């Protein structure tokens, strides 16, 4: 175990370097197209993108705050916002533990027990991934789009993606099984079980709201692409279904990668894979990289707003 801990930091840095290398190769592959790219900035579409992003975050904080209340924690919306976004900045540090740790410490300063904060974070992550799985289970069978893999894989692969909805339906029918599964994993890891009690209406409400969060994030990506693309906005909006679904799916892929800070490289790679046949490699690359910068800028602004909230 001590040997594993000794190598953990170098492994994380190696994966970070690999992610940066991947992004570099992605840009190099599209270099000629990027050089010929006619840059545009349409302020109206950029404003719409910012509005959709802000709405997704307002709802996101509300969902986490509700889950926190279920496990015995209570925060005002303003304080929940402050904790959520001040801790979000630490997500870019390699290790994937800094945001939960920051949220736990700041929650304790507001009188919230550490176990309540940890439990709410785990519950939110589970609901988040289940909502992303639901989007995938609907999108792939309906559109048949597997991006660059569409011509390489049988068409039935997209239809089989509908099976991603089965665990969701199972846990909706028996939410206690989801909690039992998580606690079983924690016990195997030598951790204490979580005092989480979910019923079907609570889980369904959280899933519905979190799915809406994902879709708003996809809408923000759609409008940002329209703001920057060298194609007319109408051409980008014609691919609205694909862009709205593809970005949440690429974000979720980076979310579960656990190898680079904030899914660096993974998110951009999946967006490129899914969108290149639809909008071109250069546009997909620029949009994916621009969305990461847009999110970082937005999180800094949201964290600044959080600093205005008195302790």
Q: What is the pLDDT of residue 55?
A: 97
Distance CA 185, CA 123 (A): 14
Could you tell me which of 293, 234, 299 has the C-alpha nearest to residue 267? 293
Which pTM does this prediction carry? 0.83
For residue 221, CA distances in Å to 98, 158, 243, 266 come to: 26, 23, 7, 17
Tell me the per-residue pLDDT of 171-208, one tens digit each, with 9 for 90 and over.
887 777 777 777 776 676 666 776 777 778 888 899 99
Q: What is the pLDDT of residue 4?
A: 43
**Which residues, other chains included, contact 216 with Cβ-Cβ below 8 Å and sequence gap of 6+?**
52, 53, 55, 56, 59
Residues in the chain with pLDDT values less than 70 = 1-39, 92-96, 185-186, 188-191, 194, 258-264, 309-311
Q: What is the pLDDT of residue 238?
A: 94
Tell me the per-residue pLDDT of 26-42, one tens digit each, with 9 for 90 and over.
556 555 555 666 667 89
Domain ranges of the chain: 39-307
The distance of Cα 191 from the centroid of its chain, to the nearest Å, equals: 26
Distance CA 132, CA 136 (A): 6
- In the chain, how many H helices and how many E strands? 14, 0
**Which residues, other chains included, contact 241 with Cβ-Cβ below 8 Å and sequence gap of 6+?**
139, 143
């Amino acid at each position: 175990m001590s040997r594993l801990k000794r190598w953990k930091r170098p492994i994380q840095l190696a994966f970070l370097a690999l992610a940066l290398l991947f992004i570099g190769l992605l840009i190099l592959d599209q270099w000629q197209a990027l050089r010929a790219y006619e840059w545009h900035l349409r302020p109206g579409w950029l404003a719409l993108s910012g509005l959709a992003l802000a709405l997704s975050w307002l709802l996101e904080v509300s969902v986490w705050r509700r889950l926190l209340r279920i496990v015995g924690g209570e925060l005002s919306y303003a304080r929940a916002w402050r904790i959520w976004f001040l801790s979000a900045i630490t997500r870019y540090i390699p290790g994937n533990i800094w945001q939960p740790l920051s949220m736990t410490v700041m929650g304790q300063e507001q009188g919230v027990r550490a176990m309540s904060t940890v439990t709410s974070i785990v519950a939110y992550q589970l609901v988040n991934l289940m909502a992303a799985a639901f989007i995938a289970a609907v999108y792939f069978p309906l559109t048949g789009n597997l991006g660059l893999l569409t011509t390489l894989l049988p068409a039935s692969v997209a239809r089989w993606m509908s099976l991603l909805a089965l665990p969701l339906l199972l846990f909706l029918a028996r939410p206690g099984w989801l909690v039992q599964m998580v606690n079983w994993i924690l016990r195997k890891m030598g951790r204490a079980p979580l005092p989480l009690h979910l019923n079907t209406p609570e889980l369904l409400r959280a899933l519905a709201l979190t799915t809406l969060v994902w879709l708003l994030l996809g809408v923000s990506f759609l409008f940002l692409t329209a703001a920057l693309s060298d194609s007319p906005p109408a051409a980008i909006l014609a691919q609205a279904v694909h862009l709205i679904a593809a970005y949440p799916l690429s974000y979720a892929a980076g979310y579960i990668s656990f190898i680079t800070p904030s899914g660096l490289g993974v998110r951009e790679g999946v967006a490129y894979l899914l969108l290149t046949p639809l909008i071109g490699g250069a546009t997909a690359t620029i949009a994916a990289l621009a969305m990461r910068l847009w999110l970082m800028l937005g999180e800094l602004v949201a964290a600044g707003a959080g600093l205005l909230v008195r302790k």
